[in-house]
Amino acid sequence: MTHHRHSQQSAPLIEMRDVHKSFGANAVLNGVSLSVRDGGVVCIIGPSGSGKSTILRCINGLMSIDRGTIRVGSFAVETLKSDKALVPLRHQVAMVFQQYNLFPHRTVLQNLTMAPVQVLGEKPAAVRERALALLAKVRLTGKQDAYPGELSGGQQQRVAIARALAMQPNVILFDEVTAALDPEMVSEVLNVIRDLAREGMTCVLVTHEMRFAQEVADEVFFTDRGVIVEHGPPGTLFQNPTDPRLKAFLEKVL
């Protein structure tokens, strides 16, 4: 796999500027700015409650923001208010969750085909073919007629990744996707993400897998108390952290 990554000079695919978000009196994001280039692989690390998952949910409009701007491709996310206006954005930005968030009442194959058919209005036959190819890609051929509840956590998470891919997105947001998995299942999920990153899929990962972040990310962002404290290429960030909060965090997790 020697896919070309887009040049560093091109305009970023995702750009957040000075984003603020509070839940009541609880300020979660206090001016977050970050950018991700097309084809980039970015990891967001930081202590729990530092706003990592909230950043992801703001990027695909699952949460509205109080202040600042978020641009994804040609979309100004903070201006999209109605469900209908959000459909093109969610077509472009898919998300994979810690708890998989699959549809338990539908088979694996239906989990992949539902949204492209029901939301994007694509032809069922074409979607079905694409879905079967995606199941092969995440090494779940033969499981298409199983229900999510019949699969292991690692298998369910791979279904969730395939479901995200079935939307043919430009970006996938990964929200601590291995945090709920038994240790022996972590690698099967990380392998799939690694393949995607190598193929040039733009990925934003919130993760506690520091070694994986070091391996796949072009850039790592460290968040604490709702701001980006430090960011840079993984080599620099992990080997020569400057901020004392990052140093303290890395001492604990590495």
Shortest approach of another protein to residue 23 CB, angstroms?
15
Question: Whose Cβ is closer to another protein: residue 160's or residue 192's?
Answer: 160
The DSSP code for 170 is S
Question: Whose Cβ is closer to another protein: residue 204's or residue 220's?
Answer: 204
Question: Whose Cβ is closer to another protein: residue 132's or residue 146's?
Answer: 146
Neighbours of 106 (CB within 10 A): 14
Is position 91 an interface residue for another protein (rule: CB under 8 A)? yes
Counting every residue, how long is the chain? 254
Shortest approach of another protein to residue 156 CB, angstroms?
10
Is position 138 an interface residue for another protein (rule: CB under 8 A)? no
Measured distance CA(101)–CA(140) in Å, rounded: 18
Is position 121 an interface residue for another protein (rule: CB under 8 A)? no
Shortest approach of another protein to residue 164 CB, angstroms?
8
Strand partners, 205: 43, 174
- Burial letters for 53-67: b for 16+ Cβ neighbours within 10 Å, e otherwise? bbbbbbbbbebebee
| Region binding another protein by CB under 8 A among candidate stretches 116-124, 192-200, 204-212, 219-227 | 116-124
Is position 227 an interface residue for another protein (rule: CB under 8 A)? no
Measured distance CA(139)–CA(118) in Å, rounded: 25
Is position 126 an interface residue for another protein (rule: CB under 8 A)? no
The DSSP code for 75 is E
Is position 174 an interface residue for another protein (rule: CB under 8 A)? no
Question: Whose Cβ is closer to another protein: residue 86's or residue 132's?
Answer: 86
Q: Which of 45, 102, 213, 217 binds another protein (CB under 8 A)?
A: 102
Of the candidates 34, 36, 33, the residue with the CA atom closest to the CA atom of residue 12: 36
Q: Which of 60, 144, 178, 223 binds another protein (CB under 8 A)?
A: 60
Residue 175 burial by Cβ neighbours in a 10 Å radius (0-12, 13-18, 19+): buried
Question: Whose Cβ is closer to another protein: residue 102's or residue 216's?
Answer: 102
Phi-psi region of 8 (alpha: psi -120 to 50; beta: other; left: phi over 0): alpha
For residue 136, give Cα distances in angstroms to 128, 141, 176, 193: 12, 5, 23, 14
Shortest approach of another protein to residue 244 CB, angstroms?
35
Phi-psi region of 29 (alpha: psi -120 to 50; beta: other; left: phi over 0): beta
Is position 120 an interface residue for another protein (rule: CB under 8 A)? yes
Measured distance CA(130)–CA(143) in Å, rounded: 15
Is position 150 an interface residue for another protein (rule: CB under 8 A)? yes
- Binding residues vs another protein (CB under 8 A): 60, 62, 83-84, 86-87, 90-91, 94-95, 97, 99-105, 114-115, 118-120, 146-151, 160, 163, 167
